[in-house]
Amino acid sequence: MKISTAGKLGFAAIILAGGLLAFFLRSPQRVPAVTPEEAERLLKEDSSLVILDVRTPEEFAGPGGHLHGARLIAVQELEARLAEIEPFRERTILVYCRTQNRSSRAAELLAGRGFRPIIMTGGITRWNAEQRPVTVEHQP
């Protein structure tokens, strides 16, 4: 049985459309999220927890401060700097930013690379609104 050129093109278009649909509709990594209250409890209970701030250096050093012991890697640099957190692959990584947008992207990247991230909902903005402790002096 011979298939016409139009039939071949139609079939190819269906395959391509299906592939594109699957690509764009793929579900993002499921990353657990915790509230600032839960994050603070985890920080007190689990000394192996790694804290990753994915904001800019200016935000990190700014008046809103950062979580004590946080490592700073801006989300824009995270993929290129994964080697810096490779030693923590088997540990839980608490990821936060200003409001949660960048930390969600960062956590999905980490989860996709085999790390164990959790996101702090509301970011440092919510943490500060709840008057939880921060470190204000700059730490690289």
Q: Which residues are bridge partners to 66 per DSSP?
A: 135
pLDDT at 14: 54
Closest CA to 111 of 22, 31, 13: 31
Chain-centre distance for alpha carbon 139 = 21
The pTM for the full model equals: 0.78
Cα torsion 102, 44, 64, 127: sign: positive
Cβ(75)–Cβ(96) below 8 Å: no
Domains of the chain: residue spans and CATH: 33-129 (3.40.250.10)
Task: Supply the pLDDT for residue 24.
Answer: 39
**3-state class of 95 per DSSP?**
strand
pLDDT in tens, 25-62: 444 558 999 999 999 999 999 999 999 999 999 999 99
CA distance 80 to 1: 52
pLDDT at 2: 62
Query: Interior CA angle at 17 toward 14 and 23, to 5°?
Result: 140
